[in-house]
Structures are given as C-alpha cells and as structure tokens.
Amino acid sequence: MAWLILLVGGLCEVGWLILLKYTEGFTRLWPSLGALAFMGASISCLGLAVRSLPIGTAYAVWTGSSIAGVAAMGIYLFDETTSVLRLASIGLIVIGIIGLRLDL
C-alpha cells in the first residue's frame, strides 16, 4: 500500500510542478491554489509512505518519479526538446526507480 501512496504522491508532485508554469509567478489565483493543494497532497503522501518504507528509498522514488513525469509532460505540453540523450536520461531515471522497487 505504501508504494501506491508513494505513486500518488509522485503524481501530485507532477501536478503542482506543471501548474507552477501556469501560475505566472503566483499571480493567477486558481492555478496557484491548485499548485498549493497538490504540494500539500504530495508531501502528505510521502509522509504516509515513509511509515513503512525506508526514507532514502521513498524520497528517491518520489523525486525520481516526479522528475521523469515532469520531463515527459514538458515534452508533451510545452514542446520541449526530445533529443535521444534527453529521452535516454528519462529512461535511466525510470530504470533506477524500478531497481529501487525490486530491491525491497
């Protein structure tokens, strides 16, 4: 169950980071409120997950999944570059997350 909570936390992390782009420096109310809500949900999920997962593993998976997710969403939503190196780097992050999951 802790892994599912951690996954939800990572998705919330992606949510607030994407919304951050739309806040325009926290000058737009609704995207700003959404970003703050996702921030709270994300850190809450991490806090729940570390009750039964090692903190180092949980934090690495939480941040790694959000990094890979935001990078992928940046490509999809904001037409960021899709070079082979960029895609391979995202893939390595995902492989690292899988490795941490299989190690437990």
Instruction: Check residue 83 and give left, alpha or beta (phi > 0: left; psi -120 to 50: alpha).
Output: beta
- Of 56, 52, 73, 63, residue with least CA distance to 93: 63
Q: What is the pLDDT of residue 103?
A: 82
Entry pTM? 0.88
pLDDT digits (tens, 9 = 90+) for 8-41: 999 999 999 999 999 999 999 999 999 999 999 9
Query: Pick the residue with more confidence: 11 or 103?
Result: 11
- Tokens 């037409």 sit at which residue? 79
Q: What is the pLDDT of residue 57?
A: 96
Domain ranges of the chain: 2-103
Residue 104 has pLDDT above 80, yes or no: no
Axis crossing angle, helix 2-23 with helix 55-78, rounded to the nearest 10 = 40
CB 75 within 8 A of CB 90: no
